[in-house]
Amino acid sequence: MPKIKAPVRTPHIDMTPMVDLFALLLTFFMLTTSFRPTEAVVVDTPSSISEKVSPEKDVITILIGKDNRVYLNFDNGKDTAVLIRKEVLKKMAEQYQVTFTDKELKTFSTWASFGMPIDKMKAWLNTPDSKDREKFNVGIPTDSTDNQLNLWVRFIRLQNPYADVAIKGDSDADFKAVKHVMDILQDNQVNKFNLTTNLQKEEAKLEE
Amino acid sequence: MAEIIQAEGKQKGGKKKAKKFSTHIDMTPMVDLMCLLITFFMLTTAFSKPKAMEITMPEKKDDPTVKAPEIAADRTINILVSGNDKIYYYFGVADPKKPPLPQLIATNYGKDGIRKMLLQRNKLVFTAVYDLKQKVTKGEEVMSDSTLTRKIKELKKTVDPKAPIILIKADENAKYKNLVDIIDEMAICTVANYAVVDIGELEKQMIAGTAVAAPVK
């Protein structure tokens, strides 16, 4: 009998279901995720063994860049009727005799971290392109002649006394700058801070 | 795997027809690998959320009538943090009116540097906390995370009444990273009493090597 040779056929996989799934996943993520607003400065935080998760809501974040410039971020609070960012900006405007239109106030309440003297804020709020906005971020003045950070923190705490304070400092920032920020916070009766770090586990062992 | 299928064509006369090649690459191994890689990363990675290190500073009181509390000199260790990742320490109190000045010891941030000294000095507290953590890990004692944290806090306070008191002082050249690292060492070595305080002129001179104790009268 002649040998029956099975014809050699290469496997042919139908990729249609895989592409289907990718399309579904892509649509899902396109609809559910939202862009995180870019931070005013890129901060490379030091590492520590601390495992406590950094609070994300109801927190005042003070960012300290490598060049010791100070930036600020805070959220609108839980009450959707009172936009804390708007109220704080109004108070700062009163203090420094700057006026903001309603549209500018509303824009401010939707944006995130910022860092500029209050007189430059109007121009910043009116720049729609986020790339152009980057040049405004020169840092909030903290020197004793014009301590704007002190007022910002005071007004935020008046609006929301229960907010936590997080200091997100760059590893290479001078400790002096961070100490200055801590002094300003202590002047506003904040004595407990959260220093934002990334996790790096270390185990200590006693050597006899 | 891949194969080249030659299009069979009848060749008429002497005309040379270009043979058409069509390649058909079999993707099975690639999809296999992708599936394996995806499973591997799904199981091994976790989102790294930023963590927070809590630090509490003593209240700033500019009241001159309130004196700073006296601290026992035999329990005090002063850690001086300077630039270029330099770190020094000395035991006791540096008072220019009471010579001789304590010897300033230079060390580093590594395992055999400041950590070694801290572990030796804080042995009692460290072994107590370490033993408790081992017991919980091995399952000999069962408690919730919050109970464990509370017990560790209690241990730190009660185990050693002569536990070292660490004063952390940083000069102008210190970087933020140095401070976070030293406070981290406090946590790693389970030090109970430490505080970040201002550096004194004498200590700055000690770092520079120019400190001179007042002459003995």
Looking up residue B112, the CATH number of its domain turns out to be 3.30.420.270
Q: How far apart are CA B129 and CA B135, in angstroms?
A: 10
CB distance B119 to A206 below 8 Å:
yes
Q: Is the Cβ of B70 closer than 8 Å to some Cβ of chain A?
A: no
Q: What pLDDT is recorded for position B9?
A: 52
Q: What pLDDT is recorded for position A63?
A: 92
Q: Is the Cβ of A169 closer than 8 Å to some Cβ of chain B?
A: yes
In the three-class reduction of DSSP (H, G, I as helix; E, B as strand; rest coil), residue A144 is classed as coil
Which CA distances in Å does B85 have to B170, B175, B179?
A: 11, 8, 10
Closest CB to B56 among A13, A191, A198: A191
Q: Are residues B105 and B39 in the same domain?
A: no
Do the chains contact at A186 and B48, CB–CB below 8 Å?
no
Angle, alpha carbons B52-B49-A24 (nearest 5°): 160
Q: What pLDDT is recorded for position B13?
A: 53
The number of distinct structural domains making up chain B is 2
Closest CB to B50 among A191, A198, A207: A198
Q: Is the Cβ of B112 closer than 8 Å to some Cβ of chain A?
A: no
Residue B61 lies in a domain: no
Residue B89 lies in a domain: yes
Residue B215 lies in a domain: no
Q: Is the Cβ of A206 closer than 8 Å to some Cβ of chain B?
A: yes
- Closest by CA to A50, choosing from A182, A198, A168, is A198
Q: Are residues B93 and B169 in the same domain?
A: yes
Residues of chain B whose pLDDT is less than 70?
1-19, 46, 61-70, 211-217
Q: What pLDDT is recorded for position B54?
A: 84
Q: What pLDDT is recorded for position A71?
A: 92
Q: What pLDDT is recorded for position A41?
A: 83
Q: Which residues of chain A have a CB within 8 Å of the CB of B170?
A: 175, 179
Closest CB to B126 among A177, A191, A206: A206
Q: Are residues B28 and B118 in the same domain?
A: no
Q: Are residues B118 and B25 in the same domain?
A: no
Interface of A with B in 31-70 (CB under 8 A): 45-55, 64
Q: What pLDDT is recorded for position B216?
A: 47
- Closest residue in A to B119 (Cα–Cα): A206
- Closest residue in B to A172 (Cα–Cα): B175
Residues of chain A whose pLDDT is less than 50?
none
Q: Are residues B98 and B178 in the same domain?
A: yes
Q: Is the Cβ of B130 closer than 8 Å to some Cβ of chain A?
A: yes
Which CA distances in Å does B112 have to A60, B108, B157, B173?
A: 38, 8, 26, 24
Q: Are residues B108 and B170 in the same domain?
A: yes
Q: Is the Cβ of B169 closer than 8 Å to some Cβ of chain A?
A: no
Range of the domain at B31: 3-10+18-43
Q: What pLDDT is recorded for position A142?
A: 87
